[in-house]
Each structure stands twice: as C-alpha cells, then as structure tokens.
Amino acid sequence: MRLSGFEGKIALVTGAAGGIGRAITRSLRDAGARVVATDTEAALAADPPPDGVITRPLDVRDAAGAEALIAGIEASHGPLALGVHAAGVLAMAPLLDMAAEDWARVIEINTTGTFNVTRAMGRAMARHGAGAIVAVSSNAANVPRMNMGAYAASKAAVTMLIRCLGLELAARGVRCNVVAPGSTLTPMQTGMWADDGGAGERAVIEGSLDHFRTGIPLKKLATPQDIADAVMFLLSDQAGHVTMADLFVDGGATLRA
C-alpha cells in the first residue's frame, strides 16, 4: 500500500532536531509535503533538519509564539494541513527525590507544550475544515516506570489531551491521533546508558525483574524511522477514518490488550 495525501501540503513538525522528529521531517519531505521544521534555537543549530525543509525556532512553552508561528506559516505558505508534535524531554529520578523544578520543566515542556502547539494547530485546521494532527507520546503513559514518574505522568496527560482534542475537532474535519513509542534508538534513550558495553540495550530488550519491566518480544529496539512510519500512516489519506487512536510502536513491550 502506497500512502497518499502529502503532495504539496503544508506540514509542521516540532522537535524536528531530535531523532524521531528528524525522521518524521525527512519522511514528510520525501512524500512531497512542504515541511516547516521547528525546535529550539540551540537544537536547530546543533542538529539542523534535513535539506529541503523550512526551519523556524520555537520554544513550545511559548503559547503566543506557537500561535504566531502558525499564523506566519499560513500567511507565507498556505493552510496548515498536517501537524506533528514530537518535542519532549526526559528527567530520570525517583519521585520522592525529584527536584520540584525538574518536575515543573518536564510538565511544562511535555504537557503544556503539547497543549500550546496542538491547540494552535487545531485552531488553524478547524478554520479550514480539514487536517490531521499526530502527537508523539510514549508507552510509559500506560505502564508505570521506575524513576520515570514525571515523564510518564506528562505523557499520560499528552495522550488524553490529544484524544479529547480529537473528539472536539472531529466535526470540523480534523483528525487527532497519538503514536506511543517504546524504547527507541535516539539520544534520549542511549543517554540513559553509560559506556556499559551494550548492557543497557540488552537489559531493555530482555526486561528487568528489579525494575518491574517486561522485555521487548520482538527482541529489538525501535529505530526513529519505525516511529516515523507509524506517524506517516496516521497522517495519510489511508487513515482517513482513524481519529483518537493511541498506536503503540514498542515491539510488543506493553503487552496491551
């Protein structure tokens, strides 16, 4: 099946300098979309998105900035048709020991940032009566994780926020869906592993009784492209009757019914 519905359409990707965001940006560009890639100034400077896309800085904590960005995109390039929110951060610590400022940063970027960006996307698409939004959440939104309470809580909120947004926008012709990756070979994931000779990756794949964590039945970690492929399906015409879905891309790790 060849996915369609991208040629010439305006697409916005947040978190575009990261592993998953970068893969999504490239996939949209290759499918013929006109892509605007956003991230922080520092992230865009350190890891510029692929050639052939428009870059704009955005701190997702800035609600007015998100609205202004989309207004500028539409004024210069046409109606926003496709939106992907992939920006996010991770903070590792037991909840009893976590600094309040670390908790606040994760919630502000992951949850409030999602609200700021997808609300602006949804407002624009509702005016046009069409569009598709996908947010990158996490399978940690559905399964408790040791030392990941802030991240898991933020992503659980993201998942329900997008599903509620999808319900509100359905009558306006706008679809809203979630992709929930498991462990994926990105700097966020590998940064949790010290120089351990691959022990960290093996532990994730095999699981850990000490951390109450199941392994990955497919016996491999996802690649950023695995996640991008799922996002592309949910944006495509072939998913035209899919909204408010929460698609797990985790090799079966969640064992979800």
Residues with a catalytic annotation lie at 151
How is residue 215 written in tokens? 């392994």
Chain centroid to CA 98: 24
d(CA 131, CA 146): 37
**DSSP readout, the chain?**
----S-TT-EEEEESTTSHHHHHHHHHHHHTT-EEEEEE-HHHHHHSPPPTTSEEEE--TT-HHHHHHHHHHHHHHH--EEEEEE---------TTT--HHHHHHHIIIIIIHHHHHHHHHHHHHHHHT-EEEEEE--GGGTS--TT-HHHHHHHHHHHHHHHHHHHHHGGGTEEEEEEEE-SBSSHHHHTTS-S-TTHHHHHHHH-BTTTTB---TTSSPBPHHHHHHHHHHHHSGGGTT--S-EEEESTTTT---
